[in-house]
Amino acid sequence: MFGTTSYAATDYAQEAQLRKELPIQTNDISGWPHGPEITAQAAIIMEANTGTILYAKNIHEELFPASTTKIMTCLLAVENSSLSDEVTFSNEAVFSVPKGGSNIGMDVGQSITMEQALYGIMVGSANEVANAVGEHVSGSISDFVKLMNTRAKELGCTNTHFANTNGLQADDHYTSVYDLALISREFFNNELLCKVGNTARYHFTATATQPDDFYLNNKHKLINGEIAYEGILGGKTGYTDLARETLVTCAEKDGLKLICVVFMEESPAQFTDTVTLFDYGFNNFHAVNVADNDFRYMPDDSLFFESDNDVFGRSGTILKLGRTDSIILPKTSSIEDTDYEILYDLTEDEKSQFPTAIARVAYSYSGVPVGNAYVCYSKSSAENSAETVNSNRTIYINVKILVLVAVILVIAFSVLGSVLTRVLSGRTHSSRSDRLRYNRRKKEFNHGKFKSGKF
């Protein structure tokens, strides 16, 4: 028995060494920072805000995810239920989990809140809880699995098929590190899920529907403090005999939000390699704000992409770049090293996320997509003119035009004043002459009548 165990361990070590020699696709990109060799069969570092892939090793290979599957289960739970919902454990939810499988000891007929269930899944990796959540959301485990596959396609997954809620070994249950990074990107975009996924220890207290008092301890070493790392937002462990060790982790610092997924590792390399990959990402890349740094498609004689900061003739713009739109670049490069393409066929997702956008500027570096910026309507012209003076808005004034109008008005009033003066002067003189002439004739007439005696 000991010989068999030793032989198996040696085999795994040899396999890990062979995996370390597999090519890293991002190392073939011209000007891209050279990525580290690790013992994972597949690995990815994705920047969550932009979707930029910083490190790629066999990222589309279909492999077994094990319990990292539960990231999708919890995402769907939050999207389709309330935290206060009562999740009840059926016979199928409890007994479809094989003996020895990860669980927290829930019995048939017991119930916990959905919030407790999320902690049970993410902290305790409880298979029976994942099943119960699936039944609660969709009515049955099989219908929930259909929902998992539908949601995966919506998120852009092309090498994924789920067969269960928890990641138990099955030939038709697989995904890729790229697809799982897409799912994790959505997961870590949710504040509640980040909190749940970054919990080192959770306390279950006894209730009327669940009689036990116990603690769950997270086995993710970057979450429970065994391996300290700045900026961890959460993650999930996974293991089966065929999947080997799998791990998902998210960390944020220096303006970057990185998701690391590693498949098929030997413990503790899944943790140490994740640290190595995070260091590679944070040390070699940075986020570059597009509006502040790229002026290549903003010619001076065009009002198309003008800044509203220039009050002398440039303040009437109606289009502008998103102020927070950034791209990810190697620290040794600048935005001038990128290529860009302006695209007008926005997806429905983009239209929903950016309702005022009319175009997307897609950036690439050595042929690799590194992020987007959006051209959006600015509320600086037509929309603002329709709003009331008391509304909370920015009023844009074109000083050059204002001065020109003022000069024209001054000249016009001067000319008009001169004309009126002449007219009025002439009219006064004419009236006085007529009055004198009238008075003289009147006197002569009266004098004549007096002489003749005719009255």
- The letter for the amino acid at 274 is T
The helix, strand and coil proportions of the chain, stated in percent and rounded to the nearest 5, come to: 40, 20, 40
Strands 357-365 and 339-343 turn out to be antiparallel
**Residue 292: CA count within 13 A, CB half-sphere:** 8
d(CA 21, CA 41): 10
Give pTM, 2 decimals. 0.79
Each residue's pLDDT, cut to its tens digit, for the chain (455 residues) gives 334 444 454 589 999 999 999 999 999 999 999 999 999 999 999 999 999 999 999 999 999 999 999 999 999 999 999 999 999 999 999 999 998 889 999 999 999 999 999 999 999 999 999 999 999 999 999 999 999 999 999 999 999 999 999 999 999 999 999 999 999 999 999 999 999 999 999 999 999 999 999 999 999 999 999 999 999 999 999 999 999 999 999 999 999 999 999 999 999 999 999 999 999 999 999 999 999 998 876 544 344 444 444 444 444 557 788 889 999 999 999 999 999 999 999 988 888 888 889 899 999 999 999 999 998 877 644 444 444 444 444 444 455 555 566 667 767 767 666 666 665 555 544 455 555 665 666 666 555 544 444 44
Write the CA distances from 431 to 82, 436, 438, integer angstroms: 92, 9, 11
Extents of the domains making up the chain: 13-285, 294-400
Please give the positions annotated as active site.
67, 70, 125
d(CA 45, CA 57): 9
355: helix, strand or coil? coil
Q: Give the pLDDT of residue 215.
A: 98
**What digits encode the pLDDT tens for the residues 190-206?**
999 999 999 999 999 99
Q: Give the pLDDT of residue 322.
A: 85
Q: Give the pLDDT of residue 111.
A: 98
CB-count burial class (<10 Å; 0-12, 13-18, 19+) for 82: exposed
- Characterize 286-323 residue by residue with b for buried, 16 or more Cβ atoms within 10 angstroms of its Cβ, and e for exposed: bbbbbbeebeeeeeeeeeebbeeeeeeebbbbbbbbbe
Which residues, in sequence order, are bridge partners of residue 265?
A: 245
Q: Give the pLDDT of residue 110.
A: 98
Q: Which fold has domain 13-285?
A: Beta-lactamase (3.40.710)
* Joined tokens for residue 83: 């935290």
d(CA 327, CA 373): 8
- The letter for the amino acid at 322 is G
Helices and strands in the chain: count of H runs, count of E runs: 13, 15
